[in-house]
Chains A and B, each alone.
Chain A
Amino acid sequence: DVKVTQSSRYLVKRTGEKVFLECVQDMDHENMFWYRQDPGLGLRLIYFSYDVKMKEKGDIPEGYSVSREKKERFSLILESASTNQTSMYLCASSSISYNEQFFGPGTRLTVL
């Protein structure tokens, strides 16, 4: 069974903390994505990666960075968490030959 896993389902952090969200896929997919989802705004792309050590900014990269050191793992980093980064974060992966994205279960992050 194909799988995308995320390190936490729920996370509570303080303003100013550095936050790491981890995503791992077992499908040998080239492409990996980080989205945030907020009511009324839908899924917004933060960053994506189409290969190891490669990254591209999405629509809302400000305040975030990413790391892809291994093909199966894509990390989202909040350098200094702020309350407006409270959201549901979804990771996804896809192959280069077919664009269906497989999503992880999501991490609901609350920044106090």
Chain B
Amino acid sequence: GQNIDQPTEMTATEGAIVQINCTYQTSGFNGLFWYQQHAGEAPTFLSYNVLDGLEEKGRFSSFLSRSKGYSYLLLKELQMKDSASYLCAPEGGGATNKLIFGTGTLLAVQP
């Protein structure tokens, strides 16, 4: 089967660092996306990992371990505007290679 596991909620302080973990089991796998979704808005692309290791993009970094079925999103120098849901979405592989979305982690950044 296919399963995505992320924490439901997290809280962090402005200026701090937070790591959002995602474990996945999919019947196929090509890569993994992270999306950010503010309340009432559409998801927007944050990062994409194909190879093992860390991809850094400004304050946001994403890590992938294909052998462990594990990824994390690292947010540094947290700002209030980072309060949002973060969705882990592995590519399921196969002919259609759809994204499989987790339920998301709701991050609350406090002053």
Contacts and interface: CB of A to CB of B under 8 A. Distances in A.
A41 B102 CA distance: 8
Contact of A42 (B33, B87, B96, B98): B87
A17 interface: no
Contacts of B31: 99
Given A42-B87, A42-B103, A45-B98, A100 B42 contact: no
B44 A99 contact: no
Summarize B's interface: helix, strand, loop or mixed. Answer: loop
B30 A100 contact: no
Interface string A15-56: 000000000000000000101000011111100101000001
Contacts of B42: 90, 103-106
Interface residues of B, number: 20
- Give the bracket for the number of chain A residues in contact with chain B: 20 to 34
Contacts of B48: 100
Contacts of B45: 100-102
A35 B30 CA distance: 21
A22 to B, nearest CB: 16
Given A40-B103, A41-B103, A99-B33, A56 B44 contact: no
9 contacts: A42-B87, A42-B101, A42-B102, A44-B101, A45-B98, A48-B98, A56-B96, A104-B42, A106-B41
